[in-house]
Structure 1
């Protein structure tokens, strides 16, 4: 029965009062209470947001990239006017189990307006990691020096190497392998080609947060001549990317032509930018 049907409601109320006359007042009060309008119950709707797709940052093509550029310069004026400019750069690019290593250098010096040093060089090496500690490599390098006995020194080779120590503060790696060496004698059309043996050791030591020591030693042994070239660098941090320091470079040639000196030494003060 609907409470809005007056005739039907009156009939029911009359029948109830006839059956229970002693509850007549309560029946009227109950009917009046039921007919009283009520406000609807307001319930805030439950909103379930649509799931958002998880965004996973995709790595770049190079999984690891680091580079450094070192500049050094000096100028003196007075009894002797000298000017020296030097540049050395390294770039390491890692993709999966391969590391591409590029290195380049250039130096220029003059004394009293006359060139006394002019050399440059570049190398590329591809390391293929066999395990976390061992790798194989393919290497090529070329160097040119206007004032050395060997004007051009080029080398291609293959070999294997190992990371002898890897910690948060020290990295020590070494490599060794055969190759072919090509040499051009300065001031002549004479050149020499011979099988050679290349070896290198590299130490990077973080002595403390703002002080690092680097030792790079390369050796190239062949019939015409054997070359040993260690470089020691000490750098202190100036900012997050920039450091300043000193480097000592020694180059020993066992059999230089044209009465050239066996040993070249260079002491530099450097400013290095790392990325």
Structure 2
């Protein structure tokens, strides 16, 4: 009677999927993907689709690899001295054109970044220069520091110090100091999105106008999307709002890895000045194609 009851229950219960071991070659692929930033999530997702019977084992392996990478990162940055652990990136591009107009120009930038348990640091220098028919038609130089003091996994105090010169925007120099609060709205291995807000102080020395000092509200947004391990999309926007001369800067870029530490980048920058000097345009745009070397 007992045997008949068990047989009846088994017959009435739908067949349940039985977990199967993950093939060794798939496990090795997932392990190898952990060595490339942004690749682990993509490879793991493919493994889940092709081996649904091994979901639990795949998730466990991904969790273990992620935890191991975080432990190694913390151990590494904890032992760093101030001069250690900096990563750099240099990019350069240029052009020459002849015919109806003779143009020559170039663009270059250098960026250093470092992350510790409590801080993220970034130092950036950039310059654009162009001559058209023998006369300078673009000349802009920029240098700045951005720091993030981490309050939690997503929240931080954002600080920024910048100095720039833009002859054709009408100012010899503009210095900006700001402090505010930042929050990471999206924090995934392949996608990060930060927003920032806070007060700022700007000092501008114009060519044809009186110098001005203005308190501003600073709003910012930074997006980084790893589309593929070798293809990254970035968008950085900063807006200053004040009663004197509000401005906006935005940079959109797509970077693709060529080989090793060498990449190619296409970018589009837009700069808007609400109250430019007389005979100056409100909006400047720059489109670049550059080579990027990471070190």
Normalised by the shorter chain, which TM-score bucket? 0.7 to 0.9
> What SS does structure 2 have at the residue aligned with 1:238?
strand
Name the residue aligned to 2:6: none
For 1:140 and 1:60, how far apart are their aligned partners in 2?
Answer: 24
Residues 61, 95 of structure 1: 8 Å contact kept: no
Tell me which residue corresponds to 1:134: 155
Task: Count residues in correspondence.
Answer: 219
**Which residue is 1:145 aligned to?**
166
Using a 3 Å threshold, how does the CA distance of structure 1 residues 160 and 64 change in structure 2: closer, same or farther?
A: farther
| 1:186 match | 207
Shift of 1:162: 1.0
Are residues 1:114 and 2:135 paired?
yes
Q: For structure 1, list consecutive stretches of 5 or more residues without a partner in the other structure.
A: 1-55
* 8 Å contact kept, 2:208–2:277: no
2:262 pairs with 1:248: no
Equivalent-residue separation in structure 2 for 1:166 and 1:75 (angstroms): 42
Q: Which of 100-109 and 89-98 deviates more?
A: 89-98
Residues in 1 aligned to 2:172 and 2:217: alpha-carbon distance in whole angstroms:
20
Superimposed CA distance per residue, residues 172-221 of structure 1 (whole angstroms, 9 cap, x where no aligned partner): 11211102111122235x20011111121111111112211111111112
Q: Any conservation in 1 of the 2:89–2:111 contact (CA below 8 Å)?
A: yes
TM-score after normalising by structure 2: 0.70
Structure 1 runs of 4+ with >4 Å offset: none
Counterpart in 2 of 1:213?
Answer: 233
User: How far apart in 1 are the matches of 2:221 and 2:253?
Assistant: 14
Partner of 1:103: 124
Question: Structure 1: how far apart are the matches of 2:164 and 2:97?
Answer: 28
| CA radius of gyration, larger in | 1
- Determine helix, strand or coil for the equivalent of 2:86: strand
Deviation at 1:64, TM superposition (A): 4.5
Q: Are positions 1:169 and 2:190 aligned together?
A: yes
| CA offsets 1:62-82 (integer angstroms, 9 cap, x no match) | 575322212111111222111
Normalized per residue, the structure richer in helix is 2
Alpha-carbon RMSD across the aligned residues, in angstroms, is: 1.9
SS in 2 for 1:224: coil
Of 178, 194, 203, which aligns to 2:223? 203
Unmatched runs of 5 consecutive residues or more in structure 2: 1-74
1:75 equivalent in alignment to 2:96: yes
Alignment match, 1:91: 112
Q: Deviations over 1:73-124 (max 9, x none)?
A: 1111222111111112222122330122211111110011111111101111
* Whole-angstrom distance in 2 between the partners of 1:121 and 1:271: 19
Q: Is the 8 A contact 2:104 2:132 kept in 1?
A: yes
- Please report how far the alpha carbon of residue 267 of structure 1 lies from its aligned counterpart in structure 2 after TM superposition: 0.9
The question of whether the paired residues in 2 share the 8 Å contact of 1:181 and 1:222 is answered with: no
The residue number in structure 2 matching 1:269 is 289
Q: Measure the CA separation in 2 of the matches of 1:217 and 1:274.
A: 23
